[in-house]
Amino acid sequence: MDIITLAHGSGGEETNQLIEDIFIRYFNTKELKEQNDSAILNELNGKIAVTTDSFVVNPIFFKGGDIGKLSICGTVNDLSVSGATPLYITVGFIIEEGFEIDDLKKIVKSMAITAKEAKVKIVAGDTKVVEKGRGDKLYINTTGIGVIENYGYILKGSNIEVGDKIILSGTIGEHGMCIINEREKLGIQSNIVSDCAPLNTLTEEILKCTKKIRIMRDPTRGGLANTLNELVNISEKSMKIYKKDIPITDEVRNFCDLLGFDPLYVANEGKLICIVSKNEVEKVLKVMKSNILGKNSAIIGEVIKDDKKNLYIENALGSTKILKMAQGELLPRIC
Interaction of residue 24 with a copy of itself, rule CB under 8 A: no
Residue 316 neighbours by CB distance under 10 Å? 8
Q: For the chain, what's the residue count?
A: 335
Interaction of residue 152 with a copy of itself, rule CB under 8 A: no
Interactions with a copy of itself, residue window 71-90 (CB under 8 A): 77-79, 81-82, 84, 88, 90
Q: Tell me how far, at minimum, the Cβ of 167 lies from a copy of itself, in Å.
A: 17
Interaction of residue 330 with a copy of itself, rule CB under 8 A: yes
Stretch that binds a copy of itself, among 91-99, 166-174, 297-305, 307-315 (CB under 8 A): 91-99
Site size toward a copy of itself, by CB under 8 A = 85
b (16+ CB within 10 A) / e for 9-30: beeeebbeebbeebbbebbebe
Interaction of residue 291 with a copy of itself, rule CB under 8 A: no
Cis peptide upstream of residue 86 (ω within 30 degrees of 0): no
Residues paired with residue 321 on neighbouring β-strands, in sequence order: 313
Interaction of residue 176 with a copy of itself, rule CB under 8 A: no
Interactions with a copy of itself, residue window 184-243 (CB under 8 A): 217-218, 220-222, 226, 230, 234
Stretch that binds a copy of itself, among 3-11, 102-110, 205-213, 305-313 (CB under 8 A): 3-11
Burial of 108 (0-12, 13-18, 19+ CB in 10 A): buried
Cα separation values, 237 from 163, 228, 315, Å: 11, 11, 21
Interactions with a copy of itself, residue window 28-57 (CB under 8 A): 34-56
Residue 260 neighbours by CB distance under 10 Å? 6
Q: Which SS3 state, helix, strand or coil, does residue 55 take?
A: strand
Interaction of residue 293 with a copy of itself, rule CB under 8 A: no
Q: Tell me how far, at minimum, the Cβ of 9 lies from a copy of itself, in Å.
A: 6
Q: What string of DSSP letters covers 106-143?
A: HHHHHHHHHHHHTT-EEEEEEEEEE-TTSS-SEEEEEE
Q: Residues 7, 101, 188, 304: which binds a copy of itself (CB under 8 A)?
A: 7
Q: How far is CA 317 from the centre of its chain?
A: 33
Interaction of residue 119 with a copy of itself, rule CB under 8 A: no
Q: Tell me how far, at minimum, the Cβ of 165 lies from a copy of itself, in Å.
A: 20
Site string for a copy of itself, 298-327 (x = CB under 8 A): ---------------------------xxx
Interaction of residue 182 with a copy of itself, rule CB under 8 A: no
Taking alpha carbons only, the member of 324, 296, 52 closest to residue 174 is 296
Q: Tell me how far, at minimum, the Cβ of 286 lies from a copy of itself, in Å.
A: 25
